[in-house]
Structure 1
Amino acid sequence: MKTFHLEFGRLGGFLLRLMFTRAGWWYILMIAFIAAGAARQQINLMILLWALMIPPLVINLWFSGSMLSKIRVTRHLPWGVCAGDPFGVELEVTSNRRYFSVRGVSIFDPLQWEISKSMRSLFDYPGKHTPLVGRVHFASIPAHKTCTASYRGVLMHRGRYRLGPMTLRTEYPFGLVRYRKVIPETAELLVYPQLGTISSRWKELQRRRQEELSHLSQTRFGQRSGEFHSLRDYQTGDSFQWIHWKTSARLDRLVVRQFEQPHGRDTFLLVIPWIPENPEPIDYAYVERALSFTASMARDITQQGSCQLGLGIASTKPEFLLGPTSQTLLRDIFVRLAVAEADPEFSLKEYLRKYSNRIGSNHTLIVVTTKKLHLPELETVADPEDIWHLGGLYENMVQLIVPEGDLDELFSLDGRLSEDSNALLTEAGV
């Protein structure tokens, strides 16, 4: 959780605004009417009534201004949230007043999506015309006490969101005058790509592919992976190096060693968020689907067990992450995917030239792209001594092209995500 402390004083750098409410303007008009009548008719009762109407206005002016002084606000918000998932922002308000309670204070916390310029012209996104605002109301905050309230919402688009500046407002006690204080401090909320479900078909395809690659490696080089587990009967394709000759002679049949396979296979996820020069909304939808699939894959791999997991984003601002699976690595992957931007210019050649030697040749390379790739010739990508390593990556590569429907049977979103989805903010009481 991220926490932000905001100190309020009577004079410190905050914008204090005073305005009369509609009731206040009618009240002033009534005072003026009575004052004019009293001055013209010289009626003592009207003069007395005019005099009695002045104190409530003065008291309201004084109380409303003093209500917002000596207040300390703490905002609690999550480090990040996935698109489509509900989230909450908690506000703690502490009154440092000595005697009187703070009453009737409302806090407005605007939220703005920091969308890129290219997407700004395409989408009528939430908050473009009417800002999204979270609101909480505190009926009473006793002196030297802390009260909490929260608002909840759902954001349907990944990216950076800017919270603030907050506005405090009160009309206490008579509702004739409204004081507002604008606090310039802001906070940032990251919205990760929407998560979905990886189908059993994908898992079955990966299992078969892993068995084929393992069998091919064993047939070619007699290699094995994992620790010794047990003995079993010989099967066609098993390496002769695995035969346990003493046991085979005693049983009068061939018996081979069986090795325990590791819990997870090292995986590197490479995303290419390509869009054409003149994109349409559907092009951005392809990018979002690719990023959602990648985030869901990273989550599932992290849950499966210990292995190496990596993320690459091939764009003008390339990203590279690689390490053992952990919640820290998963959060870093989500952060990179949250701020990834669609790009009409990318160079797979340059990306592989820069990072291929840092990816193990035993990694499964899953390339999720919005454009069909023409794999560059090995000689043009790597140095001669790295050609063998890059060839191993190509052998273990799986290419998924989003516009061609490669993800349709492999992945489904938990909820429907579209460019016109609205972000809803709801207020919660104290």
Structure 2
Amino acid sequence: MVRPPNDKPVASSFSMTGVLALLCGSGVLFFYWKFARPSAEFSGSARWILPLTGMILLLWGGRQIFGDLIPGLRSRQVEPDPEVEPTLRISWMGIVLMFLGMLMFYLLAKTDSGTVRLFLTILGALLFFWGIREVGRLMMTTTQVQRVERRVALPPSGLAYLVIMIVLFVGSQLGQSNMLMLVFSLMAGPFVINGAVIVIMLQKLTVDRVVPETAMAGELIAVELKLRNGKTVFSSSLMAVTDTLANDRERLQTGVLIARVPPKDERSARYQLTLMQRGRYRLGPVYVGSRFPLGIVERGLVFDLPGEILVSPRLGRLTPRWQREHGLADELVHRPNTRAGIFEDEFHRIREYRPGDNPRLIHWRSSARQNELMVREFHQSRNQSLIVLLDLWLPETPHGEAEDRVELAISFAATICHNQMRQSRDANLYVVSAGDRLTEWSG
């Protein structure tokens, strides 16, 4: 089953890094407004370090999240070239995070409040090690190590659930209502538990793909996705596996649902699809996610699992008229270097009888005229060389009709070549195509 790009089997997912950055930034600003701002311990430039840190985290998290929705905001991804030696790249955001973490430790000397010191210690350690992780993650990408990215999504039910929680929290803070805070806490519990259960299920999951290397346009093919659970105790339930296929003209998404993967076991599922566009389809990445058990939070993993399917032009069927006209045209071509064949296809001449000739080929009228046995000699006409000239010209602004004509010409040329190779054994085939560049092929 193939879905268009906008009809995803899972909710629109966001970068887990972006979500954590937004939460940390909001927490820093809230703490500054609630505890640090009323205090007179911070003065001068130190007073702006906390709000500046919160704003940096908010902007970075927003760019990570909205970059998934708005392609123009997404950071440019450089695909590694296996033929080019990778070079070292630096994560500037990782360096900024480590610097902000050290600033938090600098602020420890400016305050004597136990609550503020505890918060600054936790925040400084978090930012410093987070920066180290960002630098290491980019280095893993540079060295072409398979990367696994964590994603988080909110289905419509989860989004409504979160909005209610935010309203209750804001109301409890503005109205100093313990009852609203109690209701908020009761709702936050299932929300956190749902996410924690999915995190456990996603641990030690690996995915693999079995895909045919070649296919024909319009042909039904099957792709197998294998999901392995490496955990010892916990199983993974209701795992949605989404695969992506793309070429220069279209982008497709397919999905399968695996009900349960027991510990130390593997489950597989297949999806079928029909690729109507010829060319090279790139597969990947693969998304594995789940909403189990409550369905208010979705978390997943994005596996960088590349693959490729080469789709050949669709083959047609040559009509008897084409076979007849092709044979008539071939008779008009003079071929001085003919040779005898094993098939009685084309009459060549009448010659004298030789031992071993088929008696049925004796031409009695000529034998009586020459007063010796004469036989009919046939030459093989099936091994005929073929030259195919293919013009792939398109206007500067191609329209649908022109593109359809080119695709029809390519399909027709492929059908002719396939028929030629199937019916001939020793014949030569030459193909010359003129498009963006001149391409020659012989075989």
- Name the TM-score, length of structure 1 as normaliser: 0.56
Q: For residue 198 of structure 1, give the secondary structure of its aligned residue in structure 2.
A: coil
Superposed counterparts of 1:307-322, under 5 Å: 307=426, 308-322=428-442
Task: Quote the residue 1:94 is aligned against.
Answer: 228
> Which of residues 365, 368, 376 in structure 2 aligns to 1:252?
368
Partner of 1:114: 248
Q: Give the 3-state SS of the residue equivalent to 2:151 in structure 1.
A: strand
Shift of 1:199: 0.8
Q: Are positions 1:304 and 2:428 aligned together? A: no
Answer whether contact 1:225 1:259 (CA < 8 A) is retained. Answer: no
Whole-angstrom CA distance in 2 between matches of 1:157 and 1:103: 35
Q: What is the match of residue 352 of structure 1?
A: none
Q: Relative to structure 1, is the Cα distance of residues 304 and 31 closer, same or farther in structure 2, using a 3 angstrom cutoff?
A: same
Alignment of structure 1 residues 20-419 onto 2, 5 Å: 20-27=154-161, 29=164, 33=168, 40=177, 55-115=189-249, 127=250, 131-213=251-333, 216-217=334-335, 224-227=338-341, 242-244=351-353, 251-254=367-370, 255-261=374-380, 263-307=382-426, 308-323=428-443
Q: Deviations over 1:76-117 (max 9, x none)?
A: 2222222222222221111111121111111222222313xx
Gaps of 5+ in 1: 1-10, 116-126, 324-430
Q: 1:256 to 1:212 in 2, by over 3 A?
A: farther
Counterpart of 2:310, as a letter, is: L
Question: Contact 2:207/2:227 (CA < 8 Å) preserved in 1?
Answer: yes
Q: Taking structure 1 as reference, are residues 260 and 167 closer, same or farther at Cα in structure 2, changes over 3 Å only?
A: same
Amino acid at match of 2:384: R
The 1:14–1:210 alpha-carbon spacing in structure 2 relative to 1, beyond 3 Å, is: same
Evaluate the alpha carbon distance shift between residue 262 and residue 68 of structure 1 in structure 2; reply closer, same or farther with a 3 A threshold. farther
Find the counterpart in structure 1 of residue 103 from structure 2. none
Q: Name the amino acid aligned to 2:227.
A: V
Contact map agreement 2:349 2:376 (CA 8 A) in 1: no
> Aligned letter for 1:168?
V
**Larger RCO (alpha carbons 8 Å, 6+ apart):** 1
Query: How far did 1:31 drift?
Result: 9.7
Q: Deviations over 1:376-414 (max 9, x none)?
A: xxxxxxxxxxxxxxxxxxxxxxxxxxxxxxxxxxxxxxx
CA contact (8 A) 1:229 1:257 kept: no
CA shift for structure 1 position 290:
1.0
Which one-letter code corresponds to 1:159 in the other structure?
G
Matched residues, percent identical? Answer: 27
- Give the distance between the partners of 1:185 and 1:51, measured in 2 at CA: 40
User: Following the alignment from structure 1 to structure 2, what is the Cα–Cα distance between the partners of residues 152 and 229?
Assistant: 44
CA contact 2:165–2:187 (8 Å) conserved in 1: no
Aligned to 1:63, the other structure's residue is in SS state helix
- After TM superposition, the structure 1 stretch with the greater mean CA deviation from structure 2, 16-25 or 153-162, is 16-25
The alpha-carbon distance between structure 1 residues 204 and 104, as it changes in their structure 2 partners (threshold 3 A), is: same
In structure 2, stretches of 5+ residues that fail to align are 1-136, 138-145, 356-361
Partner of 2:6: none
State which drifts further: 146-155 or 314-323: 314-323
Q: Describe the shift of the 1:31–1:210 C-alpha distance in structure 2 as closer, same or farther (beyond 3 A).
A: closer
Determine helix, strand or coil for the equivalent of 2:330: helix
**Structure 2 Cα separation of the partners of residues 179 and 285 of structure 1:** 42
Match of 1:417 in 2: none
* Separation in 1, partners of 2:354, 2:239: 84
2:39 is matched with which residue? none
After TM superposition, give the deviation of residue 61 of structure 1 in Å.
Answer: 2.1
For the aligned residue pairs, the C-alpha RMSD in angstroms reads 3.8
1:140 CA displacement: 0.6
- Alpha-carbon distance between aligned partners in 1 of 2:342 and 2:212, rounded to the nearest angstrom: 45
Greater strand fraction, Structure 1 or Structure 2: 1
Normalising by the residue count of structure 2, what TM-score does the alignment of the two structures yield? 0.55
Q: Is the 8 A contact 2:243 2:284 kept in 1?
A: yes
| Equivalent residues, number | 284
